[in-house]
Copies of this chain bind each other. A is one copy, B any other.
Amino acid sequence: MKNKLLTLEELRASSHQIPGWEILETRLRKTFQFENFIDAFSFMTKVAMISESICHHPEWENVYSKVCICLTTHDSGGITHLDLKLAKAIDKVLEG
């Protein structure tokens, strides 16, 4: 069973929970800037562990100290509660 797409209203209502995440048509996107590659990749390792835990994975790219993460639910063709959940978990990991 597919996850339900979030409506624009639901996304707007949730946006304060995911500061810095752009809400695009079919995905959430945020760019993270670190001091160097080691810090960037160590952050990616955290995100990898979280993603695997919740069985929902990002589309992401890394160039040296920068990591750009896009979240979308492929099966549903857009943004679902899974993406919201992962976005929050990623932000939380950065506070640690």
Q: Which residues of A contact B (CB under 8 A)?
A: 34-39, 41-46, 48-53, 57-64, 93, 96
Contact = CB atoms under 8 A, between A and B. Distances in A.
A10 B42 CA distance: 33
A11 to B, nearest CB: 22
Main secondary structure of the interface of A (DSSP, over half): helix
B57 A49 contact: no
Contacts of A44: 44
A41 B45 contact: yes
A38 B42 contact: no
Contacts of A52: 37-38, 41, 49-50, 52-53
25 contacts: A34-B96, A35-B96, A36-B96, A37-B48, A37-B49, A37-B52, A37-B57, A38-B46, A38-B49, A38-B52, A38-B96, A41-B45, A41-B48, A41-B49, A42-B46, A42-B49, A48-B49, A52-B52, A52-B53, A53-B53, A59-B62, A59-B63, A60-B62, A61-B61, A61-B62
